[in-house]
Structure 1
Amino acid sequence: MPNFKADISDRVVALVRDILVQNGISADLEADTKLVDAGLTSMDMVNLMLSIEAEFDFTIPQELITPDNFRSIATLERLVAGQLAADQAA
């Protein structure tokens, strides 16, 4: 399912980029770019979490809302893929 992963990646990158643009920041985003290094604040992280929940139509369980899961594009992709897989299995 390579397209599935690429779709998640594209959508996560777009959400992060939207928040950066709102802050007047343009940054090159690689999968392993630390989001705080790109310019996201703690409030931006909250907005990003809400945007991800809305974009992918699920609620992130409290125990998964950790700095490690919101470290980079790659960690967010894993979080989203895991949640989508869990939702499909339920």
Structure 2
Amino acid sequence: MQYVNPSVRDRVLFVVRSVLEQNAIKADIHPESRLVDIGLDSMDMVALMLKVEAEFDLILPQPEITPENFQSVRTLEVMILNQLGPGTG
């Protein structure tokens, strides 16, 4: 099992919560919560992608921008850790 960096998870949770608040969505979010199930639509996912890029100061490669990578906080966390490289997790 891959080591989980709480700092990255906390930052991802912060970004997801900010998108939820922006859309007046009240939800209890957990690492395994499916983002579409809590109310995020395709436009929200675009906003989430842009906020993730800004929060982590990175540009996500096009092949990484997939529904699978944006399913949950956990899948976002794994994708971000892979982008940040060794020593971040």
The TM-score with structure 1 as length reference comes to: 0.88
- 2: distance between equivalents of 1:37 and 1:14? 18
Q: Provide runs of 4+ in structure 1 moved above 2 Å.
A: none
Q: How many residues align structurally? A: 85
Aligned equivalent of 1:81: 81
Structure 1 residues not aligned, in runs of 5+:
none
Displacement, 1:22?
A: 1.1
* Residue 39 (structure 1) aligns with: 39
Larger helix fraction of residues: 1
* Pair 1:59 & 2:59 matched: yes
- Provide the aligned C-alpha RMSD in A: 1.6
Q: Secondary structure of 1:34's partner? A: coil
Q: CA deviation at 1:26?
A: 1.3
1:84 aligned partner, one-letter code: L
1:68 maps to a residue whose letter is E
